[in-house]
Structure 1
Amino acid sequence: MPQQVPTVNVPDLPADLPEGVTLLDVREPDEWTAGHAPEALHIPMGDLAARLSDLPADDEVYVVCRSGGRSARVTAFLNANGWDAKNVAGGMQSWQAAGRPMTSDNGAPTVI
């Protein structure tokens, strides 16, 4: 049976993330470049263990990937290591579908 992780739906996230909240994008660099939330912190899932010091230890963390699978695994890992993390259900696909702001490093933002 898969481990259940705390989850939040995109419409339930505040439009402007308050102080003390980090949106962590764990997708690969090409996915990030194509389109991401403007305020997100980018640490690819494979780099996370080596870059935990880049993640504010006292922040509430919302973890996002493309569709929610990778971010669920990262959420479980972070919660097991002392963070208060929640998985963003549906990932950036849901983020984009909800009309949330996105930016891109090369042209019109999209989710790949």
Structure 2
Amino acid sequence: MSTDLPAGSYLLDVREDDEWAAGHAPEAVHIPVGALAERAAEIPQDREVFVICRSGARSAYATQALAGAGWKTVNVADGMTGWAVAGRPMISETGSEPYVA
């Protein structure tokens, strides 16, 4: 999956807190992969969920787990690394220049 997401997509970022703080897509929702089970009710089931991490490995795991529980999911296989390389928008939680940690 490339980093070209349909407009209005639900983008789920499953990276850790420090990675999220360093830089993330402005419209992304942050739920670390380790918290997915307890926070699954926050994820909409009425549309596709695009799952992203740094490189695609954790998001592949999360995509499979969510799909197995009934969600329609798509792994953003090139992750935030590909997102940054593609020049897509990013923001940080720290106030400094966003980057992929």
Structure 1 and Structure 2 fold alike (TM over 0.5)? yes
% identity of equivalent residues? 56
The CA distance in 2 between the partners of 1:77 and 1:69, in whole Å, is 13
Name 2:2's counterpart in structure 1.
9
* C-alpha deviation, 1:27, in angstroms: 0.1
Q: Deviations over 1:20-47 (max 9, x none)?
A: x310000000000000000000000000
The CA distance in 2 between the partners of 1:59 and 1:24, in whole Å, is 12
- TM-score, normalising length from structure 1? 0.86
Match of 1:34 among 13, 17, 22: 22
Runs (4+) of structure 1 exceeding 6 A deviation are none
Tell me the amino acid that sits aligned with residue 110 of structure 1. Answer: Y
Name 1:4's counterpart in structure 2.
none
Name 1:5's counterpart in structure 2.
none
Structure ranking higher in strand proportion: 1
Unaligned 5+ segments in structure 2 are none
The CA distance in 1 between the partners of 2:99 and 2:47, in whole Å, is 27
Q: Deviations over 1:41-78 (max 9, x none)?
A: 00000000000011112121000000000000000011
